[in-house]
């Protein structure tokens, strides 16, 4: 299944995009884990966690060596958010971690705006990944692209 991409509608300014990508790179410099951000306008008729899982598999994020990739999924217009962590990181942090982070970011959306909240979320995810999967300069490689993926 191919992910449809939208071309005209951008949710972030160039500065906001750069800030999010910089946060991903900073987080990944401290861990062997991988973080990706997927943004689309709507998530109708599907639970956002189910959609995040679908996108996770479509992007082949389960192919990291330590199974420690995390997807930040945002449906902007529907104000939906989900975090999907692969088996390696999920076994370390559990459902309570993901649920608390989703609750935090939703409240931050209202106070700080979407891009700043995503940057904070990436930092929190990066800290958890660093704790459980610290960076090893001799063996770690960037297994997944750091760019934001924009869906439909």
Q: What is the pLDDT of residues 58-108, one digit of tens each?
A: 999 999 999 999 999 999 888 889 999 999 999 999 999 999 999 888 888
Task: Calculate the alpha carbon distances from 23 to 19, 35, 115 in Å.
Answer: 6, 10, 11
Task: Calculate the alpha carbon distances from 31 to 9, 68, 123, 130 in Å.
Answer: 33, 10, 12, 5
Output the average pLDDT for the chain. Answer: 89
Instruction: Give the pLDDT of residue 9.
Output: 54
Domains defined along the chain, listed by start: 34-134 (3.10.310.50)
> Cβ-count burial of 132 within 10 angstroms (0-12 exposed, 13-18 middle, 19+ buried)?
middle
Neighbours of 13 (CB within 10 A): 10
pLDDT higher than threshold 50 for residue 38: yes
Please tell me the pTM assigned to this model.
0.90
Q: Distance (Å, rounded) from C-alpha 132 to C-alpha 113?
A: 29
- Work out the widest C-alpha separation in the chain, in whole angstroms: 45
CA terminus-to-terminus distance, the chain: 14
Going 119 to 123 to 129 to 133, the CA torsion angle's sign is positive
Helix residue spans in the chain (DSSP H): 14-28, 48-58, 87-112, 114-132
Q: Distance (Å, rounded) from C-alpha 52 to C-alpha 3?
A: 12
């Amino acid at each position: 299944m191919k992910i449809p991409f939208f071309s005209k509608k951008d949710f972030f300014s160039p500065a906001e995009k750069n800030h999010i990508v910089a946060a991903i790179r900073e987080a990944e410099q401290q861990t062997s884990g991988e973080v990706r951000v997927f943004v689309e306008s709507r998530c109708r008729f599907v639970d956002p966690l189910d959609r995040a899982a679908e996108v996770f598999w479509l992007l082949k994020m389960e192919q990291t060596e330590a199974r420690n990739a995390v997807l930040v999924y945002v449906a902007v217009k529907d104000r939906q958010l989900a975090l999907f962590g692969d088996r390696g990181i999920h076994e370390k942090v559990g459902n309570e971690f993901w649920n608390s982070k989703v609750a935090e970011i939703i409240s931050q959306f209202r106070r700080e705006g979407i891009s700043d909240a995503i940057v904070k979320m990436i930092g929190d995810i990066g800290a958890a990944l660093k704790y459980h999967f610290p960076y090893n300069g001799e063996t770690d490689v960037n297994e997944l692209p750091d760019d934001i993926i924009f869906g439909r």
